Amino acid sequence: MTLDPFEMTALILAATTLASWINARTLKLPVAVGLLVFGLLLSACVGLADLAMPGLGIGALFGSIEQQIDFPYLVLNILLAYLLFAGAMNVNVAALIGRGWAVGALALIGTVITTILIALAFWSSCRLLGIEMPLSWALVFGALITPTDPIAVLAMTKRTDLEPGLQAQLEGEALFNDGVAVVLFKALLAYAAGAGAGGAAGHMDLALLAEHAAIEAVGGIALGLVVAVVAVWIMGAVDDWITETLITFASATLVYAVALNLGLSGPLGVVAAGLVMGSDWSERAMAPRATAYIHSFWHVIDEGMNAVLFFLVGIKAFSLQLSPVALVLMASAAAMVLAARWITVSALGAGLMLAGKKLPLKLYNVLTWAGVRGGLSIALVLSIPDFPGRQTIFAAALGVVVFSIVVQSMTMEALALRTGYGSAKADPEPTH
């Protein structure tokens, strides 16, 4: 059964809407958690039904449709642009600037350190389990599983009043390290693919890759800033909320499309643009009614695409080849990612202490548990070309994402309250 792009879009939207309705009526979980759980249950039910009644061909039909969903393209070329832009527009820029040193350290230095720590732990775990995994591909896994998910953090803030500086730090880090990790992932993927090819390709210049990554990151940010400043100037010349809403949508699309075509970082570009267009300076240039309409528009875009993203993560689990070894690896991967995150946060905290900025120990635990992974990691792992260890990396990544979304994001509120970094909202925004 082959579906054209419009038919596939209709099927995905219909299935996601039905799953969201069932979640709202029964499970009543936050959107990200509920849709992920529903997708996983659907994949499991189809698999069990196919085992019980193989003659019906249910698994073959479901698998055929699942394989037609180009998840990496959908996430990396479409959803990520709008999800990051929407998230950036809602960040408190003043509070983010106040925590700029911490956000920068975690998003830049922290991403690199965490990638290396996870890679070494993953490589060692694979060796203990008798799985062949080159260190170059373990580094690729470290890069794709390092970025935290801003969507899960934003969902938590709808239910909890966090200390403004901490909230801005969590959101800012999640937005920026998504972009940094994508750049790092591309560089390490090129290195791993070259190393696997052998010969001249196997001796790629890491310094050259780092230079290209830096150009990609800085170029993407510069592009986002330029487009956003021009867009705000254009909005100041009109007094029409529909036109101004279209300008924000066109700006996000333009930045991402141009960045992809120029080989720059689209994620960092839309984050930079979103921060500018969500700032007080931008809102002063808008028509009186435009601010409320624009934020409502992007809220719907954010929630709708978020629902699609996490539902499809659950659906993609259908292609995973489960085994006892895979289950052990999934569980151990979640533990090693948390450990690497805590070590990185602690190391950076120690460095900041030497610079005269002391952080309480309980903040390390909050920042560690807030490092929730999401759909971007699954998109990156599915974009890896086929090689013998691809299923191993997929299993480990899925284990981390499911644990993050179901366990970490659901208990983050309680941890924030217990440590004094948050207070329960009297009238929290609904998440289902």
* pLDDT at site 94: 82
Any bridge partners for residue 424, and if so which? 160
pLDDT at 200 over 50: no
Q: Is the pTM of this model over 0.85?
A: yes
d(CA 247, CA 432): 29
Alpha carbons 351 and 342: distance in angstroms, whole number: 14
Residue 202: the pLDDT is 46
pLDDT 10s digits, 152-182: 666 666 666 677 777 788 888 888 888 888 8
Burial 258-285 (b: 16+ CB within 10 A, else e): bbbeeebbbbbbbbbbbbbbbbeebeeb
Rounded to an integer, what distance in angstroms lies between the CA atom of residue 375 and that of residue 174? 13
Residues with Cβ within 8 Å of residue 283, at least 6 apart in sequence: 291
Is residue 426 very low, low, confident or very high in pLDDT (cuts 50, 70, 90)? low
* pLDDT band, very low/low/confident/very high, at 65 (cuts 50, 70, 90): very high
Burial of 114 (C-beta count, 10 Å sphere; 0-12/13-18/19+): buried
| HSE-up (13 A, CA, CB side) for residue 361 | 0
Residue that wins the pLDDT comparison between 204 and 413: 413
> What per-residue confidence (pLDDT) applies to 355?
72
Choice among 12-16, 27-31, 38-42, 267-271 with the minimum mean pLDDT: 27-31
Summarised one tens digit per residue, pLDDT across range 102-135 is: 888 888 899 999 999 999 999 999 999 999 999 9
pLDDT at 151: 64
d(Cα 342, Cα 368) in Å, to the nearest integer? Answer: 5
Those residues whose C-beta lies under 8 Å from the C-beta of residue 48, and which sit 6 or more positions away, are none
